Amino acid sequence: MGGLGSGRKRWGYRASTVEESLTLEISGFVMKLLKSTPQILPNGTLNQGDFSGEFGFHKDNDGLLMWVYVDYIDIIRFKQTYPHFGGVRWWFACPSCHRGVSKLYLLPNAPHFHCRTCHHLTYRSCQESRNVCAQLDRRIRRWLKKLGGRQNPLYPFVEVPDKPKWMRWETYLQICLTISALELRREQVFVAEARKLSEFLRKSL
Ligand SMILES: [Zn+2]
CA of 121 to the centre of ligand 1 (A): 9
pLDDT digits 0-9 by tens, 34-73: 888 777 888 889 877 778 889 999 888 988 899 999 888 9
- Residue 8: inside a domain, yes or no? no
Per-residue pLDDT at 192: 79
In terms of pLDDT, which residue wins out, 125 or 27? 27
Structurally, how many domains does the chain consist of?
2
- Residue 12: inside a domain, yes or no? no
- Residue 50: inside a domain, yes or no? yes
Domain span at residue 103 reads 18-119
CA of 127 to the centre of ligand 1 (A): 19
- Residue 2: inside a domain, yes or no? no
Helix (H, G, I), strand (E, B) or coil at 53: strand
The answer to whether residues 13 and 46 touch, using CB atoms and an 8 Å cutoff, is yes
Per-residue pLDDT at 13: 45
Q: Which domain-ending residue is among 119, 144, 162?
A: 119
Q: Are residues 108 and 141 in the same domain?
A: no
Helix (H, G, I), strand (E, B) or coil at 22: strand
Flag the least confident range among 19-23, 28-32, 97-101: 19-23
Residues in the chain: 205
pLDDT digits 0-9 by tens, 117-144: 888 766 667 777 777 888 888 888 889 8
- Residue 7: inside a domain, yes or no? no
| Cβ-count burial 82-109 (b if 16+ within 10 Å, e if not) | eeeeeeeebbbbbbbeeebbebbbbbee
In terms of pLDDT, which residue wins out, 123 or 114? 114
pLDDT tier, 78 (very low <50, low <70, confident <90, very high otherwise) = very high
Q: Cα-flanking dihedrals φ and ψ of residue 112, to 5°?
A: -120, 150
Per-residue pLDDT at 38: 73
CA of 100 to the centre of ligand 1 (A): 8
Q: Are residues 113 and 50 in the same domain?
A: yes
CA of 78 to the centre of ligand 1 (A): 13
